[in-house]
Amino acid sequence: MRLGFNTYCLRSMGWDDATALQYGADHELDAIFLQDSKDPRAMDPAHWPQVRARAADLGLHLETGGGAVLPRTANEFSSKIETLRTNITRAKALGSPLVRCLIASNRASLPPGPIEKHIETMVRLLNAVRSQVLDAEMKLAVEVHKDLQAWEFKVFLDEVGTDFVGIYLDTGNPVFVLEHPLTTVETLAPYAVTLHLRDSVVYKHPRGVAVHWVPLGEGVVDFHEIMARARELCPDVYVYAKPITGRPAEVLPYLERDFWKSYPMARAADFARFLTLAEKGVPYDKPIVNEDLRGRKLPDHLLPAIQVQQRDHMERSLKYAKEILDLGVRWRG
């Protein structure tokens, strides 16, 4: 399967699009996922064909898109449609076959109301741009984020239709909704249009479990198992290394009763499978510099350390993807 990297993992570098593309070529990758571009011209329509041409010159497949689109209020509905339309136009101009979007950053940030209501809103929202997506011969790629569990995404897909909507399959986010990544892959890989690999450590905590993102191959996720299922269920998608690191471990206090108010329909079998990760996990003990300081600005003197760390973690992850998971074509020479 073809291998690329997700540019968000190197966000502290502040690279323009041309530099990010060159990084992918220098590491003999097949693709680049241009996520949350730092280029000052990222939203300039005159810039888009230049990026597309440069990617083609470097032999890189390119994918891209935008961010969260679920309106928090009815008044935001129209503006979210316009955001999607702009992102579709940009992605098409860049040569991407898909347009990334996500529902919400995490479950806690969902608007008030049950999950069923949010699914209904997303279905109405995406159907508003359905004809534009189909005319562009693309798909909306809804990212598996820290918002819904896999079975809830399946309900959403059944309602919205898969003729113009697919899944941006991410293996790092499921642990934040008490889900084993293999459950996510087995449920959603048949709908995947892009696959992003991220590893986690999960371990017991007095309040429940703690989860922590780490470089590929350094956590508790069995990626041989993950990729065996991916090769069976979505063999034609591009696979991206996506090690988002430098964030502290987060506690999921499932032993506290109030925690479950967000999961009124949680499935016991899926939760039990998730807990098998915690049974074998321990806190990550390799040196790490934390970038996300709980709402505080990163001190300037830490930026060089974060930049070195992000590149190191990306390159360790790419090495693991190539040499251990046998991913990628171009690097084989």
**Residues in the chain with pLDDT < 70?**
293-294
Of 87, 184, 200, the residue nearest 144 (C-alpha): 184
Quick one: pLDDT at residue 298? 83
Q: Give me the CATH number covering residue 65.
A: 3.20.20.150
Q: Would you say 83 and 49 are in contact if contact means Cβ atoms under 8 Å apart?
A: no
Q: How far apart are CA 242 and CA 29, in angstroms?
A: 14
Domain count, the chain: 1
The rounded distance, in Å, linking the Cα atoms of 148 and 110 is 10
- 326 CA to centre of own chain: 21
* 6 residue type, one letter: N
pTM as predicted: 0.97
Task: Please report the pLDDT score of residue 268 as a whole number.
Answer: 97
| Domain ranges, residue 317 | 3-332
Task: Give the CB-side neighbour count of residue 180, counting CA atoms within 13 A.
Answer: 24
Burial of 72 (0-12, 13-18, 19+ CB in 10 A): middle
Give, in order, the Cα–Cα distances in Å from 96 to each of 55, 83, 220.
11, 17, 32
User: Burial letters for 104-135: b for 16+ Cβ neighbours within 10 Å, e otherwise?
Assistant: bebbeebeeeebeebbebbbebbeebeebbee
Q: What is the pLDDT of residue 333?
A: 83
Q: Is residue 122 a contact partner of residue 148, using CB atoms and an 8 Å limit?
A: no
